[in-house]
Chains A and B, each alone.
Chain A
């Protein structure tokens, strides 16, 4: 099946930028997503990008998509302690009829004071 991969851990200092990376294998991915999970909670959508775009910016969040390399990144500017969470990359394929997302394993972001 299709695969989505992320590194498991990232630590940054408060005020620095965080960059979370994701790679995927499905060349027919149409949308790619970033979800955030805070402790003890469900996943919340942060942002998504359509596959024909290469960048999307939303306040402190910047998503970069390199479709040729199948690489997606999420940059969080001026990272705050409230940004500490698990971040999941996910994709949906145009070849699937189920409208289901395939998720990566999640990156635990720790923001140090």
Chain B
């Protein structure tokens, strides 16, 4: 299917466990992003990637790891989950070229850390 897909859509885990959220896009977009959405904070950028093998920190990177070995995939790993990482996570992608740089979002992954 064309578009941007996230998996899993829902995940419950325990404190201290490792969790990986997957993101896959079919447009060959250069840029990919991970945001978290929390009540009262809107969307905050965790990490982004300008191309395969190029990643950089956003506003709230602590406790997260990303990789981008292929253009189409951008997994987000919580190496040791904490309750404060309970959130809804959104992946997005864009061409990144000059102009409006419209981000297209996935449907989100709702993570609960007990």
Contacts and interface: CB of A to CB of B under 8 A. Distances in A.
B74 interface: no
Nearest to B40: A105
A8 B41 CA distance: 10
A88 B42 contact: yes
B100 interface: yes
Secondary structure type dominating chain B contacts: strand
Of the listed residues B58, B90, B105, the one surrounded by the most CB atoms of chain A closer than 10 A to its CB is B105
Interface string B52-67: 0000101100000000
A42 B90 CA distance: 7
A99 B94 contact: yes
B105 to A, nearest CB: 4
A103 B43 CA distance: 6
A40 B31 CA distance: 24
A100 interface: yes
B15 interface: no
Nearest to B6: A42
B114 interface: no
A99 B50 CA distance: 9
Contacts of B100: 31, 33, 48, 50
